[in-house]
Amino acid sequence: MQHKNRNSTAAMVTILPCLAVILVAGCATNAKTGSLIGTGVGAAVGQWIGDDTEGTLIGAGVGAAAGYMIGNEADKEESRDEDYPD
């Protein structure tokens, strides 16, 4: 039975979400883009802090929620700016 190197697995768990964010960063709204970026950053930070899959998943979830909320507020601000131009 062959064992994988723990560091290479951790690197892949961190790199893959970040790669996904880069590939789909052209989303239509700030909320979608924010949630994707938050997921990638949260997964990386969760892996770094927890050094396990559970930490990565928790970080991804928290990052996605935070990124969505920030992006959603940016969308609302853009909508207000379009409705009431200077």
61: left (phi over 0), alpha (psi -120 to 50) or beta: alpha
| 1 pLDDT higher than 50 | no
Read off the pTM: 0.65
Question: How many residues would you count in the chain?
Answer: 86
- Rounded to whole angstroms, the Cα distance separating 86 from 24 reads 33
Q: Rounded to whole angstroms, what are the CA distances from 67 to 12, 14, 17, 36?
A: 22, 17, 14, 7
Instruction: Give residue-wise pLDDT tens across range 9-41.
Output: 667 777 777 666 666 656 678 888 888 889 989
Percentage of the residues of the chain whose pLDDT score is greater than 70: 70
